[in-house]
Amino acid sequence: MKATLDNTSPIQIETPCLVVGILEDAPLQGPAAAIDEASGGRLSRLIDSGDVEPDRNATTLLHGLPGVTAERILVVGGGQAKRFDRVRYLNMCLAAGKFLRGHAVTEAHVCLAELPVEAFDAGWRLRQCVFAIDHGNYVYVTTKPLKSDMPRPLAAASFHGGPELSEALDQGVALGAGSRTARELGNLPPNICTPAYLAQECTNLARSLENCSIEVLKRKQMAELGMDALLAVGQGSDHPARLVVLRYDGAGKDAQPYVLVGKGVTFDTGGISLKPRESMDEMKFDMCGAATVIGAFEACARMQLKVNLVTVVAAVENMPDGKAYRPGDVIGSMAGKTIEVLNTDAEGRLALCDALTYSRRFDPAAIIDVATLTGACVVALGHHASAVMTKHDDLAEELIQAGNTAVDRGWRLPLWEDYQSQLKTPFADMKNVGGMPAGAITAGCFLSKFTRDLRWAHVDIAGSAWKWNGNEGATGRPVGLLAQYLIDRQD
């Protein structure tokens, strides 16, 4: 979707579809008020008669309004004015994006950022609007192309605003692109999106972006480094593991980089501890941690943020096989710690612990891993929040704040030492499962054993990474949170 700014008056702009927002129990404002006046009160009469609904996320398409140049007007409801906030604003923009994706028009002019939202400035409103329109406009076509009689997504959208908003526009476009990359990688089937495929996509990305470089480690190099835990996970797969290291230089040599580490299990059968057949297919999304740190990397590089960033992806497939690792195995790790594997389905933490140890060499300003790590996280927080775990209160605050700003929210779970005892075993330095209680936290505790003395946070996105009701697929979360965190880290 091509995105531009245009500050022509909403009543004079020539467009196949003009998009405006209205709220309940409040007078029409901005573009909606202008249209109402130009059309001799037509819009308010349609609202009064109930033909145009101001309810949350309601969409009504009007044709040929007198006094207005636009061919159509899409009126989007935001619900009650006094309860209108950032979350409702974003949902309203998303509703507009989804409507436009499903409609025959392929161009639109969007005037939603004119609505006041809490204390957010015009830049924030426009950026989030561009991001949401692009998000709503995404359609997965790679293995199921659109038929000729199906509506196309928008090819171009203009947004109401002058040149002073061009940075906000560019940021919205960058966020949209990063989120799209993450969703597309997440949605791809596991027979296409293998570890090698992920590495190749990262290579293409690094080549297409400025100030970026890439290194891809294969099995031999990983073995030399002692990444026994990561390699154990991939032992039963015909698709060899990869460790991908993407680097973006936006702050010069002396600045410590932020490091993002992603779980890239391209398919998680559970291994010998095989998962039940119900919804095993969803485990193609088990690389969404990787997909989103790649998407955040793309967004950061496209914005040319003044930070240094390293993105590390542990790409591996978890399969049962004669060569697969088994429950009871004691394996090593790059950090030199031994691990008793009691469940081969707790593989994400094994892949991540070596990726985290590897990342020490970058001397990170902060290191954040992102992973679809535990079913327990879904039980704890459902699908609306990503779980944030860290021993650093300031880092937790920064991440949760970034999530609030980006409307891509996180919620903290504790990582108290008290939980560590659940990982004790007589047979190794630790076991890879902590039993039923607090499964999301004990997974975090496991990782914390490899990140002592680092400024580290773990983000479990098992609930937020995809939606399986209907056909939504990968959500691209938490690209918004991560990108906002990096935006806020510039000096």
Q: Tell me if 338 contacts ligand BES by CB under 6 A.
A: no
Among 18, 251, 433, 481, binds ligand BES (CB under 6 A): 433
The verdict on 158 binding ligand BES (CB under 6 A) reads no
CB of 198 to ligand BES, least distance (A): 16
From the candidates 349, 431, 449, 489, which is the catalytic residue?
349
d(CA 354, CA 209): 27
Stretch of 145-153, 248-256, 340-348, 478-486 lying at the interface with ligand BES (CB under 6 A): 340-348
Contact 370, 459 (CB under 8 A): yes
CA–CA distances in Å: residue 271 to residues 221, 223, 326: 24, 21, 8
Beta carbons within 8 Å of 67's beta carbon, 6+ residues apart: 11, 35, 38, 39, 40
User: Is 86 one of the annotated active-site residues of the chain?
Assistant: no
Segment 1-60, which members bind ligand BES (CB under 6 A)?
A: none
Catalytic option among 275, 337, 360, 391: 275
464 belongs to the binding site for ligand BES (CB under 6 A): no
> What's the closest the beta carbon of residue 292 comes to ligand BES, in angstroms?
14
Kindly tell me which residue out of 206, 246, 462, 474 binds ligand BES, with binding defined by CB under 6 A: 462
CB 19 within 8 A of CB 112: yes
375 binds, among Mn ion, ligand BES, Zn ion, none (CB under 5 to 8 A by kind): ligand BES
What's the Cα-to-Cα distance from 406 to each of 64, 171, 474, rounded to whole Å?
Answer: 36, 12, 18
Cα 256 to the center of its chain, rounded Å: 24
Q: Which does 378 bind (CB under 5 to 8 A by kind): ligand BES, Zn ion, Mn ion, none?
A: ligand BES
At 258, give phi and psi (nearest 5°).
Answer: -85, 140
378 belongs to the binding site for ligand BES (CB under 6 A): yes
Per-residue interface string for the shown chain with ligand BES, residues 254-273, x marking contact by CB under 6 A: --------------x-----
Q: What is the dihedral of CA 135, 140, 141, 143, to 10 degrees?
A: 160
Q: Looking at the DSSP assignment, which residues form a beta bridge with residue 312?
A: 245, 261
Residue with smaller CB distance to ligand BES, 374 or 484: 374
How does DSSP classify residue 470? Answer: T
**Stretch near Mn ion under the rule CB under 5 A, chosen from 10-18, 171-179, 262-270, 355-363:** 262-270
Looking at residue 407, its amino acid is V
The length of the chain is 491
315: left (phi over 0), alpha (psi -120 to 50) or beta: beta
Nearest residue (CB) to Mn ion, 87 versus 274: 274
How many C-beta neighbours within 10 Å does residue 231 have? 24
Least distance (Å) from ligand BES to the CB of residue 314? 12
315 in contact with ligand BES (CB under 6 A): no
Smallest separation, CB 438 to ligand BES (Å): 11
- What is the biggest distance separating any 2 CA atoms in the chain, rounded to whole angstroms? 81
- Residue 43 has phi, psi (to 5 degrees) of -65, -45
Residue 206: burial class (beta carbons within 10 Å; 0-12, 13-18, 19+): buried
Q: What φ, ψ does residue 242 adopt, rounded to 5°?
A: -135, 145
HSE (side-chain half, CA atoms, 13 Å) at 184 = 19
Which range, of 73-81, 110-118, 345-353, 398-406, touches ligand BES by CB under 6 A? 345-353
Region 344-403 residues binding Mn ion, contact defined as CB under 5 A? 345, 347
Between 345 and 408, name the residue whose CB sits nearer to Mn ion.
345
Output 89 or 285, the one with its CB closest to ligand BES: 285
User: Measuring CA to CA, which residue among 170, 9, 10, 18 is closest to residue 109?
Assistant: 18
Backbone angles phi, psi at 331, to 5 degrees: -120, 165
C-alpha span between 268 and 270 (Å, rounded):
5
- Residue 408 as a binder of Mn ion (CB under 5 A): the answer is no
Minimum gap (Å) between residue 374 Cβ and Mn ion: 9
> Residue count at the site for ligand BES (CB under 6 A)?
16
Among ligand BES, Mn ion, Zn ion, none, what does residue 333 contact (CB within 5–8 Å per kind)? none
Closest-CB residue for Mn ion?
Answer: 345
- Residue selected from 36, 184, 201, 268 as contacting Mn ion according to rule CB under 5 A: 268
Scanning 152-160, 350-358, 374-382, 398-406 for contacts with ligand BES by CB under 6 A, the matching segment is 374-382
Q: Is 220 a catalytic residue?
A: no
Distance CA 261, CA 264 (A): 9
Residues at the contact surface with ligand BES, assessed by CB under 6 A:
268, 286, 343, 345-348, 372-376, 378, 433, 439, 462
The site for Mn ion (CB under 5 A) is made up of 268, 345, 347
Q: Kindly list the catalytic residues.
A: 275, 349
